[in-house]
Structure 1
Amino acid sequence: MDQVFAVAWQYVVGLVPPEDLPMEAAQLLAVGLDSPALRDLAGRNRREDTAEIEGLFRQAVGELGTAVPDEETAERCLLHHLAGQLAAGSRTPGEVAARVWQGLTAAQTGPEREFLQAVGDKYHVDFISSDHPAAFQVWETALRSAAERLSRTASAEVGALHERSRSAAS
């Protein structure tokens, strides 16, 4: 996936806070990406004016040929990211579900909807986790399966989301 787009969607969903954008810009420079706004942003202090830093980030993203995605697109990228982390074993079902329960609702494809549906309702999962361990194990298995199915489509889907975001910016 395009590294600039990855930082952009992560910024939109709050995984990269505005004060971390100068460091992210420096990391993009370190991998060989370059633009005037990216260089300016990389030289900024994380305590500088947030609006100015965010403006420079948006400018740099545009100069690098992509766009900051809308919230729905960024949330869909996050769904794919979470599914990939769960499928790879770097996050637990509980960690993934907790992030989804914070308000992720964007889903358009079948695998995305299936993943959200597998996460289920927090109150139901809280109830079965303590009182019904066998049901909780069934939930974890179903969520891992949905994550694996979604992660198999991740590259193509996220690439399409990136292209849609680029087209919208043009």
Structure 2
Amino acid sequence: MRAAGTAPEPEPSTRSGLASLGEAACRYQADEIPPEDLPMVAAEALAAGLDTPTLCELAGLPRNADARDIRDAFEQALSEAGVELPDRGLARRHALRRLAARLIHGEIAAADLTMDDWWETETETVEERSFVSLIPQCGCCMEYTLGLDQRTWTAELRTAALALTSSPPVGPGC
């Protein structure tokens, strides 16, 4: 029984929708979800039991709708659902942790890390700095940047990725 004056607990499916929408917000801020995928994110949140007017509107937008309209609708839907859009820096730090996990699980190759601007990520922990310091700015100058052979670099990068994924998460979860 709930105390007088408190809001009822959301249903489990609604909590699931809120959690997935919160993760999508974090991934959106980290540039991991392109705008054209946001209508499907909205549809999945609706299917999970979350329902707001703008979420319904967003779910009905085509993938080729204007990216600004999609972004605006997504941010409005987050607001209506009570989901905060995380700080971009924190979102990138959580994305860095997901990237390290993907590397460990063999979902991406070490050389693929040079395809994005991970070296620009603002880090705060030793584990984040160790991982980021091993990511060169571009793939064409890896040997020059790293001063290591490819095999040694890959081993050091995996070790740093393991340390990062094993360290306590920072800030609110995404």
- TM-score with structure 1 setting the length: 0.77
Task: Classify 1:24/1:124 alpha carbon distance in 2 versus 1 (closer, same or farther; 3 Å).
Answer: same
Partner of 1:107: 123
Please state how far the C-alpha of 1:128 moved relative to its aligned partner: 8.3
Deviation at 1:51, TM superposition (A): 2.5
Unpaired segments ≥5 residues, structure 2: 1-15
User: Is contact 2:114–2:137 with CA below 8 Å preserved after alignment?
Assistant: no
Deviations 1:58-109 (A, max 9, x none): 11112222212232122112111101101111111111233245x5322111
Q: Which of 1 and 2 has greater Rg?
A: 2
For the 8 Å contact 1:118–1:143, the answer to whether it is kept is yes
Task: Tell me the TM-score normalized by structure 2.
Answer: 0.75
Matches within 5 A, 1:92-131: 92-100=109-117, 104-120=120-136, 122=138, 125-127=142-144
Once the two structures are aligned, what percentage of the paired residues are identical?
32
Moved over 3 A (4+): 120-124, 126-129
Q: Aligned match of 2:35 in 15, 18, 26?
A: 18
RMSD (CA atoms): 2.7
Answer yes or no: is the 8 Å Cα contact 1:5–1:66 preserved in 2.
yes
What is the aligned length?
Answer: 156
Whether the 8 Å contact between 1:114 and 1:146 is mirrored in structure 2 is yes
2:18 matches 1:5 = no
1:152 maps onto 2:163 in alignment:
no
Q: Residue by residue, what CA displacement relative to the aligned partner does 1:36-72 show, whole Å, maximum 9, x if unpaired?
A: 2212211122233333321211111122222122321
- Paired with 1:31 and 1:96, the residues of 2 have a C-alpha distance of 33
Change over 3 Å in CA distance of 1:100–1:84 after alignment to 2: farther
1:54 maps to 2:64: no
